[in-house]
Amino acid sequence: MNKEFAQRWIDSFFSDETPAGLYAEGGVCEDALLDLRIPESAREEWKTLCAAWANKEVMGDHTMLVTDYLGPYTRRGSDGREERIGVIHWVWECDLPEFLGLPTGGKKINTTCMSVQIYNDEGKIVHDWTTWDAINMLKQCGVPLKTPHFWEMDWLTTIDGISPDSIVESFQL
């Protein structure tokens, strides 16, 4: 497991290989933001998913590039056995007519993503969890989201009846 393995894993979502072959028996792929949970054994679901992603006429054009790989690290699993864990940081750029039902206005949108994977002794994926900056992508689609900077004191002025001074005073010992 390294950066090259991680890029191969991402690229397999757009190929005939499908990622299923990179998963251990019983392995699971999860992306909560896309409501995706596919076990390794669901070969037909993998084929359908990858065929959809690879169809540029339907799904648009995607570029997914691994920017960093951390690991593999070793830890003791809940069953007492050693597990290897890797963290993948990657960038997703897509040219889609719409994203999650929202029109993109014909512009490319992009975001950063992170996947955490657990590997078995053969280097197969036992479990992976993926997440990505959906807020950033929704903003690029023109959704007027407020993202307050909680680390800055003036964000509190947007909340009626709360002053920054009263919050600071309540935390003084």
Domain of 16 in residue numbering reads as 3-145
**pLDDT class of 56 with cuts at 50, 70, 90:** confident
The residue behind tokens 């290989």 is 17
Q: Give domain status of residue 167, yes or no.
A: no
Q: How high is the pLDDT of residue 155?
A: 60
Q: Give domain status of residue 169, yes or no.
A: no
Q: Provide the domain count of the chain.
A: 1
**Region 102-131: what's the mean pLDDT?**
91
pLDDT at 88 over 90: yes
Percent of the chain with pLDDT over 90: 29
**ω into 72 cis (within 30 of 0):** yes
Q: Give domain status of residue 156, yes or no.
A: no
Q: How high is the pLDDT of residue 129?
A: 95
**CATH number of domain containing 84:** 3.10.450.50
Q: Give domain status of residue 69, yes or no.
A: yes
**Region 11-24: what's the mean pLDDT?**
82
**pLDDT class of 102 with cuts at 50, 70, 90:** confident
Q: Give domain status of residue 150, yes or no.
A: no
Q: Which residue has the higher pLDDT, 44 or 67?
A: 67
Q: How many whole angstroms separate alpha carbon 10 and alpha carbon 68? A: 13
**Region 83-105: what's the mean pLDDT?**
89
Please, where are the H alpha helices in 12-162? Answer: 43-54, 56-59, 134-140
Residue 105 CA to chain centroid, in angstroms?
Answer: 23
Q: Give domain status of residue 162, yes or no.
A: no
**Region 124-137: what's the mean pLDDT?**
92
pLDDT at 94 over 90: no
Q: Give domain status of residue 166, yes or no.
A: no
**pLDDT class of 154 with cuts at 50, 70, 90:** low
Q: How high is the pLDDT of residue 142?
A: 87
Strand partners, 48: none
- Could you tell me which of 2, 9, 137, 128 has the C-alpha nearest to residue 64? 9
